[in-house]
Amino acid sequence: MKIHFIGIGGIGVSALAQYYLEKGWQMSGSDLAASEITEFFLKKGVKVFIGQKSENISAGIDLVIHSPAVKPENPEYAAAKKMGIKTQSYPEALGELTLQYKTIAISGSHGKSTTTAMTALVLIKAGIDPTVIVGTKLAEFGNTNFRMGKSEWLVIEACEYDGSFLNYQPQIAVITNVDKEHLDYFKTFANVKKAFRDFVKKLPKDGHLIESKNYSVNGADGKKLKKLLKVPGAHNVSNALSALAVARILGVKDVVSFKALAEFKGTWRRFETKQSNGITVISDYGHHPTEVMATLKAAREKFGRQKIWCIFQPHQHQRTYYLFKDFVKLFKTVKIDQIIITDIYDVAGRETKTINQKVDSQLLVKKVTKKNVQYMPMDKAEKFVKENIKSGEVLIIMGAGDVYKLFDKF
């Protein structure tokens, strides 16, 4: 069987591609730009095209799997349709995979990746040997976002955007939280909540639902986890409690679960920390006001009175527009010494000209009206911080766009 992936460099599509690679399928893929992920596949012997053209789709391809961001006018997608090749979106293909396993689907507006990683590592420690698809890279998986297991269990990160998680058939469903997120797609918070209710309905009668609100971070388990966890913050205690709940459903002994959670080092771009010339540098994926606040509060709790800097890159004009008041409130109240907000990161296929013209980072800074919150383009932010930060201080580089590249420059 031969399969082609449109958008193979994406964090979701790439995990599924690794699954089929492990299964021995012939593979090819494409993406708009080269990346660490496309390089990974090239090293594995996969033919990867940089740039998407109709001629990349050749006779003999049995299946084309594409990123949900791919539009009908995409030349490869259009060519596959014209040639009568079966096409599936990533969520559709993953949905078919969930039927072949007993699936644990980790959903929620925030904390999905970390909770998926925690759950997977607990089950691995317990000898359950799951197959895992997660939306971030894990050191324990060889710095990738996929693990092939030998058991009947599949652990997946289940994103709500575009109704993706409604394609999945879980035996166990986790909802970490429900928040005003992806409003460019859902439009209203009521629609967000409805999507999660529909997701819960996918569970069979003998299925299990875990909602993090049912577990108190201040309870006995929460207090124990707070002492054990290497990753800081109440939000991570909550994530760990969800993983613990899954483990208990599967009969894993608490002593095994707590040991695995205590050993958890975190994931790529989730409070990822290094030391550089006496400065603590942190890379974090937070891009929603709730996530940003949780991370910055965790940082203040962890570093006490040390001076904390933050370079924040807003992610997507539509998110910034819909949550503008929440971002203003966040930056007015959060206790961080110096905050630099860079230009908004555009997300291909998910922006509109009308909204792009209504909001920008300069306007956000203007509304915050605090001297320690200022706007700078990325290059100037890098230069300014390098010239002014001192040994013993902390720098948080935050956002879901390309701001993470600064992490390597400090």
Intra-chain end-to-end CA distance of the chain, in Å? 45
CA–CA dist 285, 155 (Å, integer):
21
pLDDT in tens, 9-29: 998 999 999 999 999 999 999
Give Cβ neighbours of residue 280 (< 8 Å, ≥ 6 apart). 273, 274, 303, 306, 393, 394, 395
Among residues 89, 113, 128, the one where a domain terminates is: 89
Q: What is the mean pLDDT of residues 70-88?
A: 95
Beta bridge partners of 272: 283
Q: What is the mean pLDDT of residues 25-49?
A: 94
Any idea how long the chain is?
A: 410
CATH number of the domain to which 67 belongs = 3.40.50.720
CA distances from 149 to 119, 126, 131, 263, 335 (A): 14, 13, 4, 20, 43
Give the number of domains in the chain: 3
Residue 143 phi, psi (nearest 5): 65, 35
Q: Give domain status of residue 69, yes or no.
A: yes
Say if CB 317 and CB 285 are below 8 A apart: no
CA–CA dist 224, 262 (Å, integer):
10
CA–CA dist 23, 27 (Å, integer):
11
Q: Tell me how crowded residue 52 is: count the other CB atoms within 10 A of its CB.
A: 19
CA–CA dist 369, 328 (Å, integer):
9
Among residues 89, 110, 143, the one where a domain terminates is: 89
- Residue 348, Cβ density class (10 Å: 0-12 exposed, 13-18 middle, ≥19 buried): exposed
Same domain membership, residue 314 and residue 374: yes
CATH number of the domain to which 351 belongs = 3.90.190.20
Same domain membership, residue 365 and residue 254: no
Same domain membership, residue 286 and residue 242: no
Same domain membership, residue 374 and residue 242: no
Same domain membership, residue 166 and residue 192: yes
What 3-state DSSP class applies to 240? Answer: helix
Say if CB 85 and CB 39 are below 8 A apart: no
More confident residue, 226 or 266: 226
> Among 32, 33, 47, 90, which Cα is nearest to 66's?
90
pLDDT in the model for residue 213: 63
**Residue numbers of the domain that contains 10:** 2-89
More confident residue, 136 or 204: 204
pLDDT in tens, 118-164: 999 999 999 999 999 998 889 889 889 999 999 999 999 999 999 99
pLDDT above 90 (res 343): yes
Same domain membership, residue 227 and residue 152: yes
- Report the relative pairing of strands 26-31 and 2-6 from DSSP bridges: parallel
Same domain membership, residue 256 and residue 350: no
Among residues 229, 263, 297, the one where a domain terminates is: 263
pLDDT in tens, 88-124: 999 999 999 999 999 999 999 999 999 999 999 999 9
CA–CA dist 172, 165 (Å, integer):
13
Same domain membership, residue 305 and residue 353: yes
CATH number of the domain to which 104 belongs = 3.40.1190.10
Say if CB 378 and CB 406 are below 8 A apart: yes
Same domain membership, residue 290 and residue 229: no
Say if CB 117 and CB 261 are below 8 A apart: no
> Among 258, 256, 194, which Cα is nearest to 222's?
258
Q: Give domain status of residue 248, yes or no.
A: yes
C-alpha atoms less than 13 angstroms from C-alpha of 178 in its C-beta half-sphere = 18
Same domain membership, residue 238 and residue 121: yes
Same domain membership, residue 114 and residue 82: no
Same domain membership, residue 287 and residue 258: no
Q: Give domain status of residue 94, yes or no.
A: no
Ramachandran area for residue 225 (φ above 0: left; ψ -120 to 50: alpha; else beta)? alpha
CA distances from 64 to 31, 72, 87, 162 (A): 13, 13, 5, 19
pLDDT above 60 (res 214): no
